[in-house]
Amino acid sequence: MTVCDYQPGLEGIPAAQSQISFVDGQAGLLAYRGIPIHDLAQHSSFLETAYLLIWGQLPTHEELEAFEHEITFHRRVKYRIRDMMKCFPESGHPMDALQASAAALGLFYSQRNLEDPAYIRAAVVRLLAKIPTMVAAFRHIRKGNDPVTPRDDLGYSANFLYMLNEQETDPFLSRIFDVCLILHAEHSMNASTFSARVTASTLTDPYAIVASAVGTLGGPLHGGANEEVVTMLEEIGSVENVAGFVEDRIARKAKFMGFGHRVYKVKDPRATILQKLVEDMMARYGSDRDYDIACELERVLAEKLGHKGIYPNVDFYSGLIYRRLGIPTDLFTPIFAIARVAGWLAHWKEQLEANRIYRPAQNYVGLHHQPFIPIEKRGLE
């Protein structure tokens, strides 16, 4: 059998043809369905963007209104799912709780019919509506409290922040959070999206697809990096400590969380937008010491490692925003998942349009023609 060229991590090897998003890593460009991310962040809402990603076009006023109404109507989750979450250990990571809860949805909506547009739309609505509710619910349940009931009079982002903090949020902050969801909604063939498409190719249900993608997103090399960024900034402690911190990490060949990207060789365009959001928040609510540390860290690393294409990615500034919104650090990645559900569902729907199950090859590098050794003789040589 011919040995094929092997690329660790499948780097540079196309795994699908897609019309969903475009990334130019050299120019620092990102577009959803051809619309630049900067335009969506400025003019769109998360649910409008989700509609664009999943159905391939911006909705009319009537279509968007109907979509928003459906999602509002389906925010609540079954009491048995809440009861299941009450059995989770308080020390468990919210991403594990979310993965289990997302998979459990499939038990309640298991009438799979992937050729029925009504089934597909219902699954899209349920997942977009219920994932935020489950994330917020686990925050309260792990403290021994009942979850906060969704409010039908609040928009998507405002309702999530209300369920999370049990108080209404300033509309200014709700809009910032909504933009964060737009920025995290989709990013071509990243690890969790690839996981989603592989799972989708087996023609399983969309709840299992989202659960598999959530599991992939949870790793520190993917969505989990935004948690590590805040920890890193707190470890540095002050602007004056940045230079020494950088020198030490470079000497130890340690990673700088929130920096570098497999695709972008310049600053991630999402990081640029997020940085502006942090500055908008500080202009209204006061300065943030960690933001000053972050800016100095970005400056020093540009001098030291910019020639290697090491610049801030989407995780670098998002944590500063989430912390100001009163979001616990270990919920940063579940919030990433709330947004990325839109992208995963878009890829699920696209995979169904011309499906073929994924079955990549491998290059076997092990031994051949080895004898079977009886158990009584093993370890005697």
We report the CATH number of the domain holding residue 314 as 1.10.230.10
- Does one domain contain both 287 and 319? yes
Q: What does DSSP say about strands 21-24 and 29-32: parallel, antiparallel, or unpaired?
A: antiparallel
- Does one domain contain both 334 and 319? no
- Does one domain contain both 179 and 280? no
Start-to-end Cα distance in the chain: 34
Q: Show the domain range for 183.
A: 18-216+330-353
Which residues are catalytic, by number?
A: 261, 315
Angle at 211 between CA 209 and CA 216, to 5 degrees: 95
- CA dist 293 and 130 (Å) reads 36
Handedness of CA 222, 226, 232, 238 (dihedral sign): positive
Structure confidence by residue, pLDDT tens digits, 327-368 = 999 999 999 999 999 999 999 999 999 999 999 988 999 999
- CA dist 201 and 31 (Å) reads 25
pLDDT tops 60 at residue 3: no
- CA dist 221 and 226 (Å) reads 10
pLDDT tops 80 at residue 4: no
Handedness of CA 74, 79, 84, 88 (dihedral sign): positive
Which of 8-12, 25-29, 263-267 has the lowest average pLDDT? Answer: 8-12
With respect to residue 107, please indicate whether it lies within any of the assigned structural domains.
yes
Mean pLDDT of 211-240: 88
Which of 41-45, 74-78, 260-264 has the lowest average pLDDT? Answer: 260-264
pLDDT tops 80 at residue 221: no
Q: Where are the alpha helices (DSSP H) in the chain?
A: 37-43, 46-55, 61-73, 79-86, 94-108, 117-141, 156-165, 171-184, 191-200, 206-217, 225-236, 242-252, 269-285, 289-305, 315-324, 332-353
Last residue of a domain, one of 324, 342, 375: 324
Q: State the total domains in the chain.
A: 2
Place of tokens 């071509």: 188
Residue 112 pLDDT level (bands cut at 50, 70, 90): confident
- CA dist 82 and 150 (Å) reads 14
Last residue of a domain, one of 278, 306, 324: 324
- Does one domain contain both 203 and 235? no
Residue 1 pLDDT level (bands cut at 50, 70, 90): very low
DSSP string, 19-86: SSEEEETTTTEEEETTEEHHHHHHH--HHHHHHHHHHSSPPPHHHHHHHHHHHHHT----HHHHHHHH
- Does one domain contain both 190 and 252? no
Which of 214-223, 250-259, 291-300 has the lowest average pLDDT? Answer: 214-223
- Amino acid symbol at 96: D
We report the CATH number of the domain holding residue 103 as 1.10.580.10
| 67-79 CB burial, b ≥16 within 10 A, e <16 | bbebbbebbebee
pLDDT tops 60 at residue 73: yes
SS3 at position 200: helix
List phi, psi (to 5°) of 362: -140, 155
With respect to residue 309, please indicate whether it lies within any of the assigned structural domains.
yes
- Does one domain contain both 179 and 284? no
- Does one domain contain both 113 and 165? yes
Place of tokens 């969903």: 20
- CA dist 265 and 296 (Å) reads 20
- Does one domain contain both 33 and 120? yes
What pLDDT is stored for residue 381 in this prediction?
Answer: 66
| Rounded alpha-carbon distances, angstroms, from residue 189 to 46, 173, 202, 236, 275 | 20, 30, 18, 33, 24
List phi, psi (to 5°) of 31: -140, 140
pLDDT tops 70 at residue 105: yes
Q: How many residues does the chain have?
A: 381
What pLDDT is stored for residue 7 in this prediction?
Answer: 81
According to DSSP, the residues that pair with 43 across neighbouring strands are none
Angle at 177 between CA 206 and CA 48, to 5 degrees: 55
- Does one domain contain both 87 and 210? yes
Across all residues in the chain, what is the average pLDDT? 93
What Rg value do the Cα atoms of the chain yield, rounded? 22
Place of tokens 């809860």: 101
What pLDDT is stored for residue 13 in this prediction?
Answer: 82
Structure confidence by residue, pLDDT tens digits, 149-206 = 999 999 999 999 999 999 999 999 999 999 999 999 999 999 999 999 999 999 999 9
pLDDT tops 60 at residue 37: yes
Give one word for 378, left, alpha or beta, with left for phi > 0 and alpha for psi -120 to 50.
beta
| Rounded alpha-carbon distances, angstroms, from residue 60 to 31, 38, 42, 43, 63 | 20, 21, 18, 15, 5
With respect to residue 366, please indicate whether it lies within any of the assigned structural domains.
no
